[in-house]
Amino acid sequence: MTTALFYILGIILLAATLMCITRRNPVHAVIYLVAGFFALALMFYLLGAPLVAAWEVIVYAGAIMVLFLFIIMMLGLAPQEVPEGPGWQRWLPLALLSASLMACTLLLILEDPAAGQKVGGFYLAPQALGEALFGRYAMAVEMVSFQLLFATIGAYLLGRPLPKGEDQ
């Protein structure tokens, strides 16, 4: 059952990604990307990593998606004409993907809430992750902190106002 769900999620993920890279309208592409993120989150859950699944939603669907949207807003793309045909027809693929994702989630819950332990027979409890991260990999965590510091300063440098008297 969980193995079947895994493959179904794989198909949803592939379909969402294909739709994402073939859309002409970049905002539509981002929406399909988010559908893909949710499929990926469910996959991580199935593989026995519930915390990673939650991060996939919080960080990727929540934050990275905003970054994509702001890039689109910054590019100032030419306005797109709205294609012919009723609106529901344009959104049918996304509605189908979302509905199947929802069905997968419900199946996962109804069948066995602890299903995550089945595929691969591996389960990463958040507690175990915390113990590994802040015990064995303590140094790596501090290095990540430095990386984030560079990212903060890099983000500022990218968008800082030009100093006076400097062109481009």
Contacting positions for another protein (CB under 8 A): 51, 54-55, 58-59, 62-64, 66-67, 70-71, 73-77, 79, 109-110, 112-114, 126-127, 129-131, 133-135, 138, 141-142, 144-146, 148-149, 151-153, 155-156, 158-160
CB of 67 to another protein, least distance (A): 5
d(CA 78, CA 8) in angstroms, rounded, equals: 37
Residue placing its CB nearer to another protein in the complex, 15 or 30 = 30
In 3D space, the residue among 13, 69, 17 whose CA is nearest the CA of residue 38 turns out to be: 13
Residue placing its CB nearer to another protein in the complex, 1 or 71 = 71
CB of 156 to another protein, least distance (A): 4
CB of 25 to another protein, least distance (A): 12
Residue placing its CB nearer to another protein in the complex, 88 or 156 = 156
CB of 116 to another protein, least distance (A): 12
Residue placing its CB nearer to another protein in the complex, 8 or 54 = 54
Judge whether 123 and 45 are in contact, CB under 8 Å.
no
Residue placing its CB nearer to another protein in the complex, 1 or 148 = 148
CB of 65 to another protein, least distance (A): 10
